[in-house]
Amino acid sequence: MKKINFIYSVTEIVKNKADDNIYKYVVLPNNLKFLLISDLNADKSGCSLSVGIGSFDEKINGLAHFLEHLLFMGTEKYPEENAYMDFLNLNNGSSNAYTTDECTVYYFDISNNYIDKGLDMFAQFFISPLFNKDSVDREMSAVNSEFLSNVENENSRMHRILQLCCNKDTRESNFNIGNFETLNIENIRDHVINLYETKYSADKMIGVLYSNKSIEEMEKMINVFNLIKNKNNQIQNENENSDFFYNRFIQYILKVQKINFLHKKIYSFQDIIRNDCKNKIIKYKSIEKSKKLAIFIKTGSSLICPILFTHIVDQFNMEDTGCIAILKDKNLAYDVSISIDNVSWYGLFCIEIYPTNYGTNKLDDILKVINEYFLNFKNWNFKCLINRNKINFEYKEKEDVIDVVEELSERLQTVSIVNILNFEYTNDVPDQDLINEVIKSLGNKDQWIILYADDEYTSKFNDGIFGIEVDSFLIKKMQVF
């Protein structure tokens, strides 16, 4: 098998001293990017491919998720509907996929001896899928079943309430899982094919291949992915300067970090969140025998400066001086968890508070404690965190192959290849202006979205999709799909 000529390649990737893997990042002639990881001791091989499109790119609710399902259902080269999964099952393999707001990720692992054919079958998803009508009908049922399982999932229900808090002309308001009502429409197959043909382009795809093969062997193994069409016609001319191309590409994948937070472009949130949903406790029915208060705050993407957001979370959770300590001392809450989700132009900072029996009647007091904590936040000593990051990165344990390829292919959509392994451990301390803007956004209670899941709450109104009992005001502007 002949190796193709790559547009560009990178081998200087930051890794820890114990990491004896060999890494090489290449750009194929069709502008598809691939990270190759050679681990001679790997007991399995795996591959992942992320596509830089997701539910934000759909015009029919759930269409991107539906397309993800259908790519598993046969290709021109391997037309049998279960050929791919049967092959993996016979050879100690597994596979999965998921769709986010901005990205769709496909991945699999398999015994080392069968990775070549596994790659060929996998690549056909993106070269010549069939979209058979029978498959379309069956997978619609599968998507609907997935929706029904989410109806009983507390996190999915909370996400649905968040959608209702968004103005209905925004992408954030869309019901992105999909079900029979959104997908069982005329010409749905044509809509799926159109999404695939217009959005699934090689220049939006990033693959990761992990195997016990040498880098030279792996370079030949990914030849088949060059058959994927670049539908944006941005194929690199051989005479163009490779450094120029790579710098242009890096500027693209670094766009998240380069968002000018200080210009406050991320603060155009009034166009996303309904004004009547800000700084107001929004109650809805919980299906669990518990109560939970959740605060959602739009701020800068945590990708701008990972150490800054890690520090804020660490300080918040300090058992002696953090906000959690204050809430416990006042008998207002017994536990708190924090997460941060990112899209290209902002981050969503989520604080979930589990109130005590006493705290359930003191929700305003809980909110006041958290607000005052951010307004008076002063501890900006990063030294301990910097030292911890260094240690954690140097002694990071190896992960399962399938977890590595899945995580890295999605991360490569937004993170520089040079720091793809150590990104979450980077120690670039932010300047004071950035610190001030982030903490200001967190303490701006007027922009908070506050949700309260209560198993005892009742209402004659529901969200219209999940059947969640909600405050009546929440559905007066509800999006009708």
149-207 per-position pLDDT tens digit: 999 999 999 999 999 999 988 999 999 999 999 999 999 999 999 999 999 999 999 99
Percentage, residues of the chain above pLDDT 90: 76
Which pLDDT belongs to residue 8? 86
Residue 299: predicted pLDDT: 87
Q: Is the pLDDT of residue 108 over 80?
A: yes
Per-residue model confidence (pLDDT) at position 477: 53
Average pLDDT, stretch 257-268?
Answer: 45
Return the pLDDT at 416.
85
pLDDT of residue 476: 65
- pLDDT, one tens digit per residue, over 383-416 is 889 999 999 999 999 999 999 999 999 999 988 8
Can you list the pairs that 137-144 forms with residues at least 24 positions away whose Cβ atoms lie under 8 Å? Answer: 138/73, 139/66, 139/69, 139/70, 139/73, 140/66, 140/180, 140/183, 140/184, 140/188, 142/69, 143/62, 143/65, 143/66, 143/69, 143/177, 143/178, 143/179, 143/183, 144/178, 144/179, 144/180, 144/183
- Tokens read off for 111: 């015994």
Helix, strand, coil percent values for the chain (each to nearest 5): 45, 20, 40
Query: Mean pLDDT throughout 450-474?
Result: 95
* Residue 68: active-site member: yes
In sequence order, the β-bridge partners of residue 451 are 282, 294
- In this predicted structure, the answer to whether residue 326 has a pLDDT above a threshold of 50 is yes
340 pLDDT above the threshold of 50: yes
Q: Choose the catalytic residue: 58, 102, 139, 352.
A: 139
Q: What is the pLDDT of residue 237?
A: 43
Count of beta carbons in the 10 Å neighbourhood of residue 2:
6
Would you state the pLDDT for residue 346? 83
Residue 37, amino acid: I
Based on the residue annotation, tell me whether 146 is a catalytic residue of this protein: no
Q: Looking at residue 444, what is its pLDDT?
A: 95
**Would you say residue 245 has pLDDT above 70?**
no
Mean of pLDDT over the chain: 90
* pLDDT over 70 (residue 295): yes
* Helix (H), strand (E) at residue 141: helix 133-151
- In this prediction, residues 308-318 reach a mean pLDDT of 93
pLDDT over threshold 80, residue 263: no
Query: Is residue 10 helix, strand or coil?
Result: strand
With bands split at pLDDT 50, 70 and 90, how would you rate the model's confidence at 434?
confident
Dmax (CA) for the chain in angstroms is 71
- Determine which helix (DSSP H) or strand (DSSP E) holds 211, and give its type and residue range: strand 205-211
Query: In the β-sheet with 291-299, what is the strand arrangement from edge to edge?
Result: 281-285, 449-454, 291-299, 346-355, 333-343
pLDDT beyond 70 at 239: no
Task: Give the pLDDT confidence of 50-104 residue by residue, as tens digits.
Answer: 999 999 999 999 999 999 999 999 999 999 999 999 999 999 999 999 999 999 9
Phi and psi for 263 in degrees, rounded to 5? -80, -5
Looking at residue 197, its pLDDT comes to: 97
Residue 292 backbone dihedrals phi, psi, to 5 degrees: -145, 135
Q: Which pLDDT belongs to residue 415?
A: 87
pLDDT above 80 (res 471) = yes
pLDDT of residue 256: 42
Q: Is 132 left (phi over 0), alpha (psi -120 to 50) or beta?
A: beta
Scanning the structure block, which residue is given the tokens 């899945």? 406
Query: Which one-letter DSSP state was computed for residue 34?
Result: E
Q: Residue 362's pLDDT is what? A: 98
| Gap between the Cα atoms of 106 and 110, Å rounded | 14
**With pLDDT > 70 as the criterion, what percentage of the chain qualifies?**
90
Average pLDDT over residues 127-144: 95
Mean pLDDT for 356-383 is 94
Q: Which domains does the chain have, with CATH numbers?
A: 8-235 (3.30.830.10), 265-382+429-475 (3.30.830.10)
With cut-offs at 50, 70 and 90, classify the pLDDT of residue 303: confident
How distant, in Å, are the alpha carbons of 174, 198, 245 from that of 419? 33, 31, 19
